[in-house]
Chains A and B, each alone.
Chain A
Amino acid sequence: MDALDLIDAVQSVADGVLFGATYALLGIGFTLVFGVMHKINLSYAAASIGAAYASLLIVAGIKAPAILVFLAAAAAGGIIGGLIYLVGFKFIPLANPLATLMSTVGLLLLIDEIIVHTTAGVPLNYPALFSDVIVPVGPFNLRGDLMFVFALSCACMVVLLLLLYRTRLGLATRAVSQQPTASELCGISITRVNVLTFVITGVVGGIAGAMTGAAIGMLSPLLSLPLTVKGLIVTVIGGLGSIPGAIIAGLVVGGLENVFQFFRGVSERDLYIMMLLFAFLIFRPGGVFAMPVGRD
């Protein structure tokens, strides 16, 4: 391989890592809900895309700057997150894991179909910031819009970590995820923590959806299934319940995706990601940051 190919390869990895920040956000959302409720919310990625769509709807009337669109997406994500809790979790007995799994599948299909119904299935353009800025670093070029996506995602992660480890709400959330019964005895309302977790992960998801739209330049209902799969992959590789793990796994998956795409073409790209994941689960089922195994 000559030098030019090497430069291209490194360039595509850099793009992938920057885009991987959105995977990391999705992974965090899956991980948080799983940590608190020990349930999978399969409708999460669809809800994120839905929030991004909703933000377009909100600002459709006025000619709003891109940053306002992103804020609208975050707000819409929070609302959708709360609704998902209400419809898919509130009235279903938690002792039955299959029922909530199925109800979130139903919600995934429902959100997808609402999107298709309102937009007639046509992909919509999504605004981006700094899309005309290109920062040359040596022989490489870093795209301004991807850099912004990366920076905003990182800021979002920092805020989330502060929220979890520096506030009373975060303390309550972590308490519920460790010992639901004991935390209820300490006067923490589990329902309240659950609702807030869904709203917070919804906000994160809304931002992730908006960032995906900004990085790709458009939104399509076809995005939600691949994003669901990628988000789950990131969650598992990073280790369930581990936020730093999800962040690193998101960036790694984003980078690797582009490595495989560069060397083997787009049609085989995901095949290798899937095989890698399968091998990963067999040899290191607890994720990269697995806790030492103990009795539960």
Chain B
Amino acid sequence: MDFYLGLMQIIGVHTLLGLSAYCVLLTGQVSLAQAGFFAIGAYVAGMLTVLAQWPLVPALGVSAVVAGAMACAVGFPALRVKGLMLVVATIAFGEAVRLFFFNFTYQVQAGNLKLGPHGAEGFRQIRYFPENGWTTLDVMLFIWTVVALVMAGVWWLDRSRAGAVLRAVGEDELAAQSTGINITAVKVSAMTIGGVIAGIGGGIFAHYTTHIEHVQFGVVLATFAIAYPILGGLSNVLGTLLAVIFIQGFLIEGLRFMGDWRNLLFGGLIVLAMNVRPRGLLDAGAMLALKRLVVPSKDRNGA
């Protein structure tokens, strides 16, 4: 049972990561910096609960603010460039963050233990959950409460006027600009929202793994972050969730019985999925079909 609860935790945290990339992708920008914001969130939240003895929720709040501020600061220069340039600029930023933590050591003596991040060895002993007697179920419920809140927030954002503005910039920048939308402001806001969500996700990630190190936040994680929304489709936040379940639940855990062959299938299935459904698993057409299934009568009246 604990295995499935653990899997649910992983899916929850990766959904947050995917949602952070979803916000940025709505404006048509491919950002591989999300893993960097995730890392900042993880380290900030971990240091606050371990070194400053803060409770978890305020620590997550601070990590969200710090990661969001960082995203905003990076967004201004980075979003001047587009396409491949932005991909490379954000890879550079993400790698710079990772390498910063690779060289970052700040430890304090606590009893006979040294606590805090220690360069290449990483940050051990983030023991907030076990120290406060949280069971796996508690942690899972906490993570999914946060995921549900964030998801509802992004859903609402998506349906509101702000979401329409984001999508307008994503569809056609020139057209959006000529209707009087400030493109830079929109993109930087999207980046900041993405940073905040990644910061929360990173903070939770640090606490359930209890040990973070720089290699976990590399290009691979950044690629996964954009893979979820792209694979799931950008029409809806549920697509991201579906893609996370598909990748983490099915491709990574579900295919474990295949042993070595699982990793081979992993890449192959992503390629296949993109060939079969280039606009994502849950694209606009699929959503429409789902709606028809749920409310068939209304649809018939409309048609």
Contact = CB atoms under 8 A, between A and B. Distances in A.
Given A96-B278, A282-B77, A229 B85 contact: no
Given A225-B219, A267-B120, A282-B80, A106 B99 contact: no
A34 interface: yes
B278 A93 contact: yes
A-B pairs with the 7 shortest C-beta distances? A110-B267, A106-B270, A109-B267, A271-B99, A99-B278, A106-B271, A103-B274
Contacts of B223: 105
B166 to A, nearest CB: 15
Contacts of B219: 225, 228-229
A34 to B, nearest CB: 6
Nearest to B91: A229
A102 to B, nearest CB: 5
A235 B155 CA distance: 37
B99 A109 contact: no
A105 B227 contact: yes
B264 A225 contact: no
A268 B30 CA distance: 27
B118 interface: no
B95 A270 contact: yes
B285 to A, nearest CB: 14
A99 B93 contact: no
Contacts of A233: 88, 92
Interface in B110-148: 119-120
Given A102-B230, A106-B274, A271-B99, A236 B88 contact: yes
Contacts of A281: 77-78, 81, 85, 88-89, 92
Interface in B62-119: 77-78, 80-81, 83-85, 87-89, 91-93, 95-96, 99-100, 102-103, 119
Contacts of B230: 98-99, 101-102
Interface in A165-200: none
B99 A87 contact: no
A114 B267 CA distance: 10
A278 B273 CA distance: 33
A102 B263 contact: no
12 contacts: A106-B268, A109-B270, A110-B268, A112-B267, A117-B261, A240-B85, A267-B99, A271-B99, A274-B96, A282-B77, A282-B80, A285-B85
B88 A285 contact: no
Interface in A116-151: 116-117
Contact of A277 (B25, B84, B88, B227): B88
Interface in A241-256: none
A251 B226 CA distance: 31
Nearest to B120: A267
B89 A278 contact: yes
Nearest to B261: A117
B93 A105 contact: no
B100 A117 contact: no
Interface residues of B, number: 47
A277 B69 CA distance: 21
A110 B264 contact: yes
A277 B81 CA distance: 13
A34 B84 contact: yes
Chain B contact residues: helix, strand, loop or mixed:
helix
A261 to B, nearest CB: 13
Contact of A274 (B30, B92, B119, B273): B92
A40 B227 contact: no
Contact of B267 (A91, A106, A271, A278): A106
A116 B264 CA distance: 9
A23 to B, nearest CB: 14
Contacts, number: 136
Nearest to B272: A106
A102 B246 CA distance: 15
A88 interface: yes
A215 to B, nearest CB: 22
Contact of A40 (B84, B96, B103, B267): B84
Given A110-B267, A281-B89, A282-B77, A92 B100 contact: no
Contacts of A93: 278
Contact of B271 (A40, A98, A107, A275): A107
A113 interface: yes
B231 A102 contact: yes
B279 interface: yes
Interface in A75-112: 87-88, 91-93, 96-103, 105-112
A87 B268 CA distance: 10
Given A105-B223, A110-B268, A228-B219, 9 more contacts: A98-B230, A99-B274, A102-B274, A106-B268, A109-B263, A225-B219, A235-B88, A278-B96, A285-B85
Contacts of A91: 275
B175 interface: no
A113 B274 contact: no
A159 B81 CA distance: 32
Contacts of A240: 84-85
A268 B99 contact: yes
Contacts of B89: 236, 277-278, 281
Contacts of B261: 117
A99 B279 contact: yes
